[in-house]
Amino acid sequence: MGDWIAFWDSEHPIYVNARHRDVHYRTIAQDIRAHLPAGAAVLDYGCGEALHADLIAASATALILCDAAPKVRAALARRFADHPKIKVCAPEDIATMPARSLDAVVLHSVAQYLTPDALDALLATFRRLLRENGVLIVGDVVPPHVSAFTDAAALLRFGAANGFLGATLVGFARTLFSNYWRLRSQLGLTRYDEAAMTAKLAGSGFSARRASANIGHNPARMTFIARPV
């Protein structure tokens, strides 16, 4: 995953402008919040820039933001330095947290960058950290049949609906010449169909179901709601 971490820690062209970045993270925060119990202690693992994490924290007792990219993590720490409910951690900090200390864990748009074994190890950690009535939310899982063209079409629709369609078209050209396509071509994305992800979660001690809609802008991808068993 090191190459992907380096990419997300760089000045990459994935967000076509400030409007895209803002709406992207606002949509994700609102969608995540809809799945969370009120008053939960929440871990958002692989949170990215999480511009609107305050929307999640508003209904939580505590929110831990965790990202492997050092520059992203530093920016998060600066942005939420004065927020009483938000704490920023590195992945290595999560492994030392007390068992049964969380009510909810979010893993959004991360599974596709992990090997199956790495995901299993992470799920085992989450299983240890979650309370008996806790919830694990795994979002943006990429099915085998979803192509880059499907992803591009979803982004075009998102841009058209939120006022940055023109910038999206320009952004596609920039992305084509970026490291993103080299990494996606060389490393690929790890993909799961619904049955495979449900089985993987079951193998890690969770009972899971697919949510009616994916978190974020891409309806072709999947979100799963899982609970410890």
pLDDT at 185 over 90: no
In tens, the pLDDT along 59-79 reads 999 999 999 999 999 999 999
**CA max distance for the chain:** 48
What does the pLDDT read at residue 178? 79
Cβ 164 vs Cβ 16: under 8 Å: yes
CB-based contacts of 155: which residues, under 8 Å, 6+ apart? 168, 217, 218
CA pseudo-torsion sign 13, 31, 197, 206: positive
Task: State the CATH class of domain 17-146+189-228.
Answer: alpha beta
pLDDT at 177 over 80: no
pTM above 0.85, yes or no: yes
What does the pLDDT read at residue 187? 85
Please give the share of the chain, as a percent, with pLDDT higher than 90.
88
Q: Where are the alpha helices (DSSP H) in the chain?
A: 2-8, 18-35, 53-57, 70-79, 91-94, 116-129, 148-162, 165-176, 179-186, 194-203
CA 126/CA 140 separation, integer angstroms: 18
Residue 206 β-bridge partners: 228
CA 87/CA 181 separation, integer angstroms: 33
